[in-house]
Amino acid sequence: MPKAIWRDVVLAESDHTEIVEGNHYFPLDSINREYFKESDTRSTCPWKGVASYFTIEANGQVNKDAAWYYPSPKLAAKNITGHVAFWRGVRIEA
């Protein structure tokens, strides 16, 4: 089962990830919300739409904007609606 891990903390775990451009997108209901703080950061992908971010806080450390999701993805990316992906040192283990 894929897991997203940072600083020895399991941030998300699910058998139902969507893989897009090499990134595992985890269902939002599979994340451990206690480690996630909403961010004001936004970015735009030409085919997925506008991404929102979470900052991760775990074991006294902060990883700014280390997770992202598309609240209203474009039609081509509808499969990642309600999913979150990771970067900035968060490792994915299968």
Domain boundaries, the chain: 3-93
Report yes or no: 94 and 2 within 8 Å, Cβ to Cβ.
yes
Task: Return the pLDDT at 28.
Answer: 97
CATH number for the domain running over 3-93: 2.170.150.40
* pLDDT tens digits along 45-76: 999 999 999 999 999 999 999 999 999 999 99
Report yes or no: 85 and 69 within 8 Å, Cβ to Cβ.
yes
pTM for the model stands at 0.95
Separation between Cα atoms, residue 64 and residue 80, nearest integer Å: 22
Separation between Cα atoms, residue 32 and residue 41, nearest integer Å: 20
Report the DSSP beta bridge partners of residue 62: 57
Mean pLDDT of the chain: 97
Separation between Cα atoms, residue 22 and residue 34, nearest integer Å: 26
